[in-house]
């Protein structure tokens, strides 16, 4: 008897989080089939949305011309600093002596490849952002076709970024192995969806909220199944993710309307209507909230589904209630840290802004009321509500599917 029990537990554990439909009882299979059919319908709707909202080639030329007209685009070229020095400016706006930085660079690409070019001298009193360059520094230059001259745009830091990306990929693959490699590939597809679908489709005049919802669903379907495989755990996690994402969308929509955000809380928002007059800036703000919420949701749902299935594999005698209670105990700790992570992520990216508000001598209520801060508050809280909702949803669904057949 003990031998049979241990053997059955061993079989259950060998499947782990990859239990197939055949490993489930008849009642559980019927629930799984309903779940699969529902997700299949959602997948079809997502594909229809991708095809319908896929960007066309009618407006890109118009948008590109608008970008050139407002000076948003420029020809960028790589260069290396050949000489760099500081000297008294040849001109002065005051009686005091002013320093100017003089830089000569060697162009590394374009029609003037290999040529030495002297950049316009920069008065550091009026442009303190211009860096103190040294010989050998790699920089990016912009070319002004009107004056037929080059100007400093930025440092060339791509090499350091590639080293960081390589280090990150190496660590992920070493730790997670095949799963890590699949996750990296899924991340690349996610970037492709955002760059090749979301941005061009919104600029084409499509509803930003609808575009972001379709993109979020497509990313969820692909990244979860591609990374974790077609199995019960992934199906449960995907269902929990989509349900919680729908809840996040509804709550965010309601509170964005109640707060009456204009959408013009950042400098970028003021520029976008000049590129495409029909662009819905407020909708873009809400759509961005949905995309941001997805990143944390799939983390929570996968963890909860895997936890419940692993508990069941370890002890096949656990009831639905016991699985739910145990899964929620783990999930509460996860949620507590994840919610704080969201807050810190938004606050960390806004430290310069917080410093400006700190010296403005305004009350905390006045600062929170400003649209720039209020948008982040609504995003954080609505995203956190979706996370909290995803916890019992995914845990209960996984426990229901894993209940012991009598």
- Tens digits of per-residue pLDDT, 161-210? 999 999 999 999 999 889 899 999 999 999 999 999 998 898 888 899 99
Averaged pLDDT for residues 380-398: 89
**What 3-state DSSP class applies to 150?**
strand
For residues 86 and 102, is the Cβ–Cβ distance under 8 A? yes
pLDDT of residue 91: 67
257 within 8 A of 344, measured Cβ to Cβ = no
Mean pLDDT of 238-262: 91
Q: Are 331 and 391 in contact (CB under 8 A)?
A: yes
pLDDT for residue 5: 43
- For 94, the token pair is 């005051």
Q: What is the pLDDT of residue 334?
A: 79
Is it the case that residue 11 has pLDDT exceeding 70?
Answer: no
CB atoms within 10 A of CB 362: 13
pLDDT at 252 over 80: yes
The long-range contacts involving 48-53, CB below 8 angstroms and separated by at least 24 positions, are: 49/210, 49/213, 49/214, 49/217, 50/197, 50/214, 50/218, 53/197, 53/201, 53/206, 53/210, 53/211, 53/214
Contact 233, 18 (CB under 8 A): yes
Domain ranges, ordered by start, for the chain? 7-55+165-401, 74-156
Q: Strand 116-118 vs strand 99-107: parallel, antiparallel, or unpaired?
A: antiparallel
- H-run or E-run covering 188: helix 178-193
Q: Going by C-beta distance under 8 Å and a sequence separation of 6 or more, which residues neighbour residue 162?
A: none
**60-90, pLDDT tens digit by residue?**
677 777 776 766 777 889 999 999 988 888 6
pTM: 0.81
In 3D space, the residue among 316, 295, 292, 342 whose CA is nearest the CA of residue 186 turns out to be 295
- The helix (H) or strand (E) run that includes residue 27 is helix 26-53
| The CATH number of domain 74-156 is 2.40.160 | no
Q: 67-97: b or e for each residue (b if 16 or more CB lie within 10 Å)?
A: eeeeeeeeeebbbebeebeeeebeeeeeeee
The pLDDT value recorded for residue 71 is 67
Q: Is the dihedral of CA 145, 147, 153, 155 positive or negative?
A: positive
How far apart CA 33 and CA 145 sit, in angstroms, is 62
CB 119 within 8 A of CB 85: no
Q: How far apart are CA 52 and CA 206, in angstroms?
A: 10
């Amino acid at each position: 008897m003990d031998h049979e029990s241990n053997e059955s537990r061993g079989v259950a554990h060998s499947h782990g989080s990859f239990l197939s439909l055949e490993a489930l009882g008849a009642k559980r299979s019927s629930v799984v089939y309903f779940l699969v059919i529902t997700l299949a319908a959602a997948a079809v709707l997502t594909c229809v949305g991708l095809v319908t909202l896929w960007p066309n080639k009618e407006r890109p030329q118009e948008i590109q011309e608008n970008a050139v007209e407002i000076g948003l685009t420029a020809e960028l070229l790589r260069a290396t600093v050949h000489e760099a020095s500081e000297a008294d400016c040849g001109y002065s706006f005051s009686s005091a002596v002013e320093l100017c930085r003089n830089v000569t660079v060697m162009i590394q690409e374009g029609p003037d490849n290999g040529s030495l070019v002297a950049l316009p001298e920069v008065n550091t009193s009026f442009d303190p952002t211009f860096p103190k360059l040294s010989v050998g520094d790699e920089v990016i230059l912009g070319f002004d076709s009107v004056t037929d001259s080059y100007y400093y745009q930025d440092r060339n830091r791509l090499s350091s970024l590639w080293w960081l990306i390589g280090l990150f990929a190496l660590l992920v693959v070493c730790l997670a192995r095949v799963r890590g490699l699949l996750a990296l590939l899924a991340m690349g597809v996610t970037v492709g969806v955002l760059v090749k679908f979301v941005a061009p489709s919104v600029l084409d005049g499509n509803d930003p909220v609808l575009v972001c919802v379709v993109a979020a669903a497509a990313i969820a379907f692909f990244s979860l199944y591609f990374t974790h495989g077609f199995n019960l755990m992934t199906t449960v996690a995907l269902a929990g993710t989509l349900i919680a994402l729908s809840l996040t969308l509804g709550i965010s929509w309601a509170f964005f309307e109640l707060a009456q955000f204009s959408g013009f809380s950042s400098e970028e928002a003021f520029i976008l209507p000049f590129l495409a007059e029909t662009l819905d800036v407020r909708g873009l703000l809400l759509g961005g909230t949905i995309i941001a919420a997805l990143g944390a949701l799939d983390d929570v749902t996968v963890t909860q589904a895997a936890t419940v299935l692993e508990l069941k594999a370890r002890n096949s005698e656990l009831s639905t209630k016991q699985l739910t209670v145990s899964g929620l105990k783990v999930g509460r700790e996860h949620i507590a840290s994840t919610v704080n992570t969201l807050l810190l992520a938004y606050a960390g990216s806004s430290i310069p802004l917080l410093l400006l508000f700190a010296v403005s001598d305004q009350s905390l209520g006045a600062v929170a009321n400003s649209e720039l801060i209020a948008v982040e508050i609504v995003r954080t809280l609505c995203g956190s509500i979706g996370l909290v909702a995803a916890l019992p949803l995914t845990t209960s669904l996984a426990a229901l599917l894993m209940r012991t057949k009598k």
